[in-house]
Structure 1
Amino acid sequence: MPRAGLASSSVTEAGAALAEEVGFSRLSMGLLAERLGIKPPSLYKHVDGMADLAHRIGVLAMTELADAIHDAIQGRAGRDALDSGARAMRIWVREHPGRYASGNAAEITGPDDPLIAAANRVMDSWGAMLHGYRIEPSQQIHALRMLRSQLHGFVTLETASGSQVLTDIDESFDWIVGFIDRGLQVPTPEMRSP
């Protein structure tokens, strides 16, 4: 019988919190069981194992990130939306590096995987931001991939303390967002909407 008060959702939340504390790469079923005050086999009543736990944390992470970006760009357009969304992503990842790592490590399990819907919500928010740049719909996927690559790379390096150059990191972030903005404002002919 599962322990009272524990459910898949509460185990996932506890795992996400622990991933923030110790780092996603160090998260384990044994460590989580210890944190919850139960024996490791008891966790298997709520999750199917470490891969399932990581996947559930990944879905949670992508859902939270989508909400943060969506809320930040709501009612904004162009550079204002880009800047607000990028800052929201940066802040969320800095506050939740363990969750973010799990979201990037989680693998899609099939066509009905909730991770797909959560990741699509992130991309839909960025896609809404791109409307202000009048990019041809067939070219938006390329713009989205560029945007994700730039922001993901920056925040991943920042949270891993990979940006230890003496230049102010906030200045670098502003420079990158400005660079993205200028690139999106001057699309190649095939990128322009009629």
Structure 2
Amino acid sequence: MPRAGLTPDLVVAEASRLSDEKGFEALSLAAVAKRFGVATPSLYKHVDGLTGLRREVSLRAVTELGDRLQGAAVGRSGPDAVRALFGAYRAYAHEHPGGYAATQRGAAPTDHEAYAAFARPVEVIAAVLRGFDIPEARMVHTIRALRSAVHGFVDLEAHGGFRMPEDIDESYDVLVEGFIHVLERRPGHTGHGAEEAEEGEN
């Protein structure tokens, strides 16, 4: 691709593909420049160095993840919505390993654009959890527990941590159903909030 054809969007898109192929931590300006057949300094016209490139890849990834979770949850509530969230989260990690790794970096509160982007997947999860009457004072803790459960599983899976012959999908189902069991049996859960959660996603 000639240098004149480069744009910030093209550079970030190629960096995202490279990240998925080689790993987010392996991402470099030189590697991206090589993909386009240009000198590394040419990229500085389109991204703010390696730090800026990684930021943009992270923003792209967390936006995709938010869209994926939103699409999975819409029209669903209660246990069905939780199953959809868990499934979408794991599917994204499988399809975009570099992008998924980028979503784990978080964003500084002073970076308002990034902070808002990283908040969106959390907001989708919160909307689903409200269907289980989770008090707002406990919401962050419950979201952290859900994310930790999913991340622990997909990280072990990605690094070959499950070597026994039993079906890994079935193991994931055990995790999901166990989390749902805890949500449904927590003190104060009435089951009346499910319709509100579903409406909030429409």
Taking structure 1 as the reference length, the TM-score comes to 0.91
Preserved contact between residue 62 and residue 115 of structure 1 (Cα < 8 Å): no
Cα distance change on mapping 1:146 and 1:27 into 2, 3 Å = same
Percent of matched pairs sharing the same residue: 38
Preserved contact between residue 55 and residue 103 of structure 1 (Cα < 8 Å): no
2:147 maps to 148
Report the secondary structure of 1:75's partner residue: coil
4+ residue runs over 3 A deviation: 191-194
Cα distance change on mapping 1:31 and 1:66 into 2, 3 Å = same
Preserved contact between residue 57 and residue 103 of structure 1 (Cα < 8 Å): no
Q: Distance between the aligned counterparts of 2:35 and 2:157, measured in 1?
A: 28
Q: Distance between the aligned counterparts of 1:45 and 1:165, measured in 2?
A: 49
2:130 maps to 131
How far did residue 77 of structure 1 move? 0.7
Preserved contact between residue 122 and residue 143 of structure 2 (Cα < 8 Å): yes
How far did residue 119 of structure 1 move? 1.4
Deviation readout 1:112-157 (Å, 9 max, x if unpaired): 4322111111001101110211111211111101001101111122
1:163 maps to 162
1:51 maps to 51
Q: Distance between the aligned counterparts of 1:97 and 1:185, measured in 2?
A: 31
**Residue type at the aligned position of 2:6:** L
How far did residue 85 of structure 1 move? 1.1
Name which of structure 1's ranges 150-159 and 138-147 shifts more when overlaid on structure 2.
150-159
Preserved contact between residue 125 and residue 143 of structure 2 (Cα < 8 Å): yes
Preserved contact between residue 73 and residue 128 of structure 2 (Cα < 8 Å): yes
1:33 maps to 33
Q: Distance between the aligned counterparts of 1:168 and 1:75, measured in 2?
A: 29
Within 5 Å, which residues of 2 pair with 1:155-194?
Answer: 155-188=154-187
Preserved contact between residue 86 and residue 177 of structure 1 (Cα < 8 Å): yes
**Residue type at the aligned position of 1:93:** A
Taking structure 2 as the reference length, the TM-score comes to 0.87
Preserved contact between residue 107 and residue 118 of structure 2 (Cα < 8 Å): no
Q: Distance between the aligned counterparts of 1:108 and 1:119, measured in 2?
A: 7
**Residue type at the aligned position of 1:111:** T
Instruction: Say how many residue pairs are matched.
Output: 191
Name which of structure 1's ranges 134-143 and 62-71 shifts more when overlaid on structure 2.
134-143
Cα distance change on mapping 1:110 and 1:129 into 2, 3 Å = closer
Q: Which runs of 5+ in 2 are unaligned?
A: 194-202
1:120 maps to 119
Give the superposed CA RMSD: 2.0
Q: Distance between the aligned counterparts of 1:50 and 1:82, measured in 2?
A: 36
How far did residue 110 of structure 1 move? 4.7
Preserved contact between residue 47 and residue 53 of structure 2 (Cα < 8 Å): yes
2:5 maps to 5
**Residue type at the aligned position of 2:87:** R
1:103 maps to 103
Preserved contact between residue 108 and residue 115 of structure 2 (Cα < 8 Å): no
Q: Distance between the aligned counterparts of 2:84 and 2:109, measured in 1?
A: 33
Preserved contact between residue 66 and residue 122 of structure 1 (Cα < 8 Å): yes
